[in-house]
Amino acid sequence: MNLLINASMSTLVGNIWAWRSVRAKCAPYAAIPLRLIVGFGFVAHGLAKWRSGPEAFAAILHAIGVPAPQLMAWLTIATEILSGIAILIGGFVSLVSIPSIILLTVAVFTVHLPYGFSSIKLLGVSTGRAQFGPPGYECDLLYIASIVALWLIGPTPWSVDSYRSAEPRATR
């Protein structure tokens, strides 16, 4: 019986060490999915505003009392698209983090705060389709936390920042 318990413990300990080895090898790649979804999200939101027309977004900004709505519309669209691309490719992430977080913080306080935390507010179902209320600030906080995490993690494999920070190779 003791032999069986010792063999089981030995196998368990071996599996734990093997898992730790796999985790250690994969850890540098862990932020890549985060970088891809945050970058894609920013690009998608920026392109949606651009396709609808910056004038339409400026009218919304004007309605909620944002000063210089035309300028702010263009700045928001440019920030979302350019920051999204930069985060997607992992280039200049620490630089684009600042305007991205400022943009999200402004969105929290000017648009989403009155609607509470939850981003999904199921109001009901009509003709087989879900009807949702206005989103709260949950997604904005998730984006901010993700951007801060990417900034803290630093350059990841398969990123422009990783390539830029690599040691220059000697030429032969």
Single-letter residue type at 171: T
Do 90 and 101 form a contact (C-beta atoms < 8 A)? Answer: no
Using pLDDT thresholds of 50, 70 and 90, give the confidence band for residue 129: very high
pTM for this prediction: 0.81
For the segment 36-49, what is each residue's pLDDT rounded down to a tens digit?
A: 999 999 999 999 99
Q: What are phi and psi of 158, to 5 degrees?
A: 60, 40
For the segment 52-93, what is each residue's pLDDT rounded down to a tens digit?
A: 999 999 999 999 999 999 999 999 999 999 999 999 999 999
At residue 172, does pLDDT exceed 50?
Answer: no
Tokens of 131: 């009807």
Mean pLDDT along residues 96-111:
96
The contacts found for 47-52 with CB under 8 angstroms, 24 or more apart, are 47/81, 49/73, 49/76, 49/77, 49/80, 50/77, 50/81
For 50, how many CA atoms within 13 A lie in the half-sphere containing its CB?
Answer: 15
Mean pLDDT along residues 97-107:
97
Q: Give the whole-angstrom CA distance, residue 125 versus residue 110.
A: 29
The CA-CA-CA angle for residues 45, 110, 102, to 5°, reads: 65
Mean pLDDT estimate for the chain:
90
Q: Give Cα 10 distance to the centre of its chain.
A: 41
Tokens of 151: 């900034």
For the segment 10-42, what is each residue's pLDDT rounded down to a tens digit?
A: 676 667 777 788 888 888 898 999 999 999 999
